[in-house]
Amino acid sequence: MILAQAIKIKMDCPGGNNMTQEHPLIEEYRRFSPGSETASVRAREVFPGGDTRASAHYAPYPLVVEEASGCTLRDVDGHEILDFMNNFTSLIHGHAFGPVVEAVQRQIGRGSAFAAPSEDQIALAEIITGRVASIEQMRFTSSGTEGTQMAIRCARAATGRQKIMKIEGGYHGSYELAEVSLVPMPNMCGPLEAPVSLPVDKSFPESVLGDTVICPYNEPTIAANLIAEHGDDLAAIIVEPVLGSMGMIPASDSFLKTLRSEADNHGIVLIFDEVITLRLGNGGAQAQAGVQPDLTCMGKIIGGGLPVGAVGGKRDLLQLFSPEQEQPIMHASTFSGNALTMAAGLAAMTHYDASEVERLNGLGNRLRAGFNECFRSHGIKAVAQGMGSLTNVLFAEGPVTNARQTMDAMIGAGHVTQLFHLTMLRHGVMSATRLMYCISTPMSEAEIDQGIAAVDKTLSDLKPYIEAERPNLLA
Ligand SMILES: Cc1ncc(COP(=O)(O)O)c(C=O)c1O
pLDDT means per 10 residues, the chain with 475 residues, are 45 40 90 98 97 95 98 98 98 98 98 96 98 98 98 98 98 98 97 98 96 98 98 98 98 98 98 98 97 98 98 98 96 97 98 98 98 98 98 96 98 98 98 98 98 98 98 97
Predicted pLDDT of residue 21: 54
Nearest CA to ligand 1 atom 5: 173
Q: How many CB atoms lie within 10 A of CB 14?
A: 6
Provide the CA 374 distance to its chain's centre, in angstroms.
25
Which helix (H) or strand (E) segment is 222 a member of?
A: helix 220-230
Predicted pLDDT of residue 112: 97
Nearest CA to ligand 1 atom 13: 173
Burial of 316 (0-12, 13-18, 19+ CB in 10 A): exposed
* CB of residue 272 inside a 6 A radius of ligand 1: no
Distance CA 258, CA 69 (A): 43
- Tens of pLDDT, residue by residue over 166-208, are 999 999 999 999 999 999 999 999 999 999 999 999 999 999 9
- CA 135, 235, 255, 365: dihedral to nearest 10 degrees? 50
Scored b (16 or more CB within 10 A) or e, 383-405 reads: bbbbbbbbbbbbbbebebbbbbb
Active site residue 83: no
Q: Which of 211, 273, 352, 381 is catalytic?
A: 273
What domains, with CATH codes, occur in the chain? Answer: 3-95+354-473 (3.90.1150.10), 98-351 (3.40.640.10)
Active site residue 273: yes
Active site residue 353: no
Distance CA 303, CA 144 (A): 11
Predicted pLDDT of residue 358: 98
Q: Give the angle subtended at the CA of 207 by the CAs of 206 and 212, to the nearest 5°.
A: 100
